[in-house]
Amino acid sequence: MAMTNAQRQANYREKRLKNDNGTGSRLNLVIDYGAHLALKRLALRYGVTITALVERLAMDEQARLTASMSADEHITYCDSVTA
């Protein structure tokens, strides 16, 4: 029996959650059009996907922020969001 559109979409989304590490997380959001264009331009400039760019921006900012934290502050920061 043929799959429904909903089943095909569910399969597609499940496959997309599998990245190089076997993990992934879906992020669904609406952003300002200008910010979207900026992301597209930056991704093109760096030769990466928008996904890779957003990951890089988030990780770089987190590293910058946590560099000046004490051990206790870092633990509190990490414990604030776990999933």
Tell me the per-residue pLDDT of 3-18, one tens digit each, with 9 for 90 and over: 899 999 888 877 777 7
DSSP class of residue 50?
A: H
Q: How confident is the model at residue 47 (pLDDT cuts 50, 70, 90)?
A: very high
Give the C-alpha distances (Å, rounded to integers) separating 49 from 28, 46, 81: 16, 9, 26
pLDDT at 20: 65
Average pLDDT over residues 46-68: 96
Indicate whether this model's pTM tops 0.85.
Answer: no
DSSP class of residue 22?
A: S
pLDDT at 83: 65
Q: Judge whether 17 and 26 are in contact, CB under 8 Å.
A: yes
Give the C-alpha distances (Å, rounded to integers) separating 16 from 4, 32, 37, 61, 74: 19, 24, 23, 25, 31
